[in-house]
Amino acid sequence: MIELKFVAKLYPNNGLKLNINELIIPKGEIVAIVGANGAGKTTLLKAMMGLGNPSYNYGHILVDGKPVEKQYEKLAFITEEGSYFPSFTPKQYAQFLADFFPKFDYRHFTKLLAYFKLDENQKIKTMSTGEKSKLEISAGFAKRAEYTIMDEPFNGKDMFTRRDFLKLMVSQMREDDSIIMTTHIIDEIENVIDRAIILHKGLIKADVTMDELREEGRSLVELMATVSKYKPADVQQFLTD
């Protein structure tokens, strides 16, 4: 279980204040963190990893009951920023990761590389954005972490890759594994996720299970439009001015 209690992060320059009173992510759940650009989704993921100097007055960030900093082997963080080792080849990168993560599964890594048609001897810096992102996903999944945290995993991927990636993601999960991801591709993930958390201006404005939403006959897109007070008339006004 990941547990955030009274976690905050303020960017004074633009006034964003991420403020989480309580957020609990149990084992075995696929959770999407959604919201408009600038809502604080990446900031929240980083905070969940204990990154970016979040503050927690009388609060904490715990993973299975221990401070997040002590539980990194249980976490995989897959970000758009990609690999920090551009001069490495995937093979060298994997050797590095294997030294740090005892559970790193090299066989699974090479299988994923082959699936994504990546060359394990090509320097990372010579790869396209999409290829780097696939490499990060392969490395992240090969860590066999219990909690996989992904920032915009669908960015830069074509429709068929997104579809296959979703299948791959679900198929490689073990019963107690959790996935937490940010995304804007709501309609494609609606049937895969268990729960959606809607962030708006740094605050959790809705936290729903997909079963609840379905029972109410609502879609996630509708709920997001309500939460973010989206008005189609605004762009119409702009276009007619």
Stretch that binds ligand ATP, among 10-18, 60-68, 165-173, 188-196 (CB under 6 A): 10-18
Stretch that binds ligand ATP, among 8-16, 87-95, 120-128, 233-241 (CB under 6 A): 8-16
Instruction: Give the Cα separation of 202 and 17 in Å (integer).
Output: 5
Tell me the closest approach of the beta carbon of residue 223 to ligand ATP, in angstroms. 17
Which of residues 226 and 236 has its CB atom nearest to ligand ATP in the complex?
A: 226
Interhelix angle for 129-142 vs 106-115, to 10°? 150
Binds ligand ATP by CB under 6 A, chosen from 17, 28, 42, 111: 42
Binding mask 144-183 for ligand ATP (x = CB under 6 A): --------------------------------------x-
13 binds ligand ATP (CB under 6 A): yes
35 binds ligand ATP (CB under 6 A): yes
Buried b (16+ CB within 10 A) or exposed e, 108-132: ebbebbeebebebeeebeebeeebb
Instruction: Give the Cα separation of 95 and 210 in Å (integer).
Output: 39
Full 3-state SS string of 199-229: EECCEEEEEEEHHHHHHCCCCHHHHHHHHCC
Residues 180-199, interacting with ligand ATP (CB under 6 A): 182
- Find out whether 204 and 33 touch, Cβ atoms under 8 Å: no
Give residue 50's identity as a one-letter amino acid code.
G
- Find out whether 189 and 183 touch, Cβ atoms under 8 Å: yes
Nearest CA-CA partner of 140 in 77, 193, 85? 77
Tell me the closest approach of the beta carbon of residue 39 to ligand ATP, in angstroms. 4
Instruction: Give the Cα separation of 41 and 49 in Å (integer).
Output: 13
Binds ligand ATP by CB under 6 A, chosen from 2, 25, 29, 41: 41
Stretch that binds ligand ATP, among 41-49, 92-100, 115-123, 162-170 (CB under 6 A): 41-49
Stretch that binds ligand ATP, among 37-45, 133-141, 170-178, 216-224 (CB under 6 A): 37-45
Q: What residues line the site for ligand ATP (CB under 6 A)?
A: 11, 13-14, 16, 35, 37-43, 182
